[in-house]
Amino acid sequence: MSNKVTLPRLAEMKRNNEKFSCITCYDATFSAAINEANSETILVGDALGMVLQGHDSTVPVTMEHMIYHTESVVKANSKCLILSDLPFMSYTNEEEAINNAKKLLQAGANVIKIEGDGTLAPIVESLTKVGAPVCAHLGLTPQYINAIGNYRVFGKSEEESNSIFQAAVALEDAGAVILVLECVPEQLAKRITEAVSIPVIGIGSGKHTDGQVLVLHDLIGLTRRPPKFVKNFMEGQPSIQSAISSFVDSVKEGSFPEKEHTYT
């Protein structure tokens, strides 16, 4: 019997109030290390445009890049559920979303992640109907950097908070199986996590979400000016492997994130 984490397993963890971890990954070497650390999930994220390619945003990342890195991660994966990003403007309509989701699923991804708001509900519904599980991403959506202007906390005003909450409910209703909340106030993340039945993964959104994700290069201390929500897990650790394990254990125990990593 396979010991690979599945969507039903994540749903069960949410029901049982068990925390789970997610780490971004782009290659086979780190995929093996994350598996050894017993993380439940891996995100093949389009942040590779910044941490690997040196761009100042995720916008230049292409489908070809995402397919290549997804295939690389899959080759060394034995346990983790793999989420993979559809990159910028690769899901502007239902037909395009289905064709590109097919490519990532055939590359070995288990779940497709898309960024946006409640207007993505028809895309989510279309993908769900053809068997492509969807992770929705709300709050700070880096693919929209040219429209939003800068990286900031989303949901601080009552209007913005209500809009994000309503989008979360709408996207679950459309069929999303996981939700990522990036850089939203802790109180809003708690409210959403309690309101939806699907697992919620937070990044910079406080301790009340079901799971936590960090960019691999952030958590091993390679980012020169890390965001407030990042902790360097390399501090005091003898190896990268032990740092990754420390992150996974800290998430499961509920000791990360702390107040200093949280927006209120």
Catalytic center residues: 182
How far is it, in rounded angstroms, from Cα 130 to Cα 11?
A: 21
CA-nearest of 212, 222, 201 to 52 is: 222
Q: What is the helix (H) or strand (E) element at residue 219, kind and residue range?
A: helix 216-219
CA-nearest of 228, 197, 194, 199 to 212 is: 199
CB 87 within 8 A of CB 104: no
CB 83 within 8 A of CB 101: no
How far is it, in rounded angstroms, from Cα 12 to Cα 19?
A: 11
* Residue whose structure tokens are 């106030």: 185
Cβ neighbour number for residue 226 with a 10 Å cutoff: 16
CB 194 within 8 A of CB 234: no
How far is it, in rounded angstroms, from Cα 234 to Cα 227?
A: 16
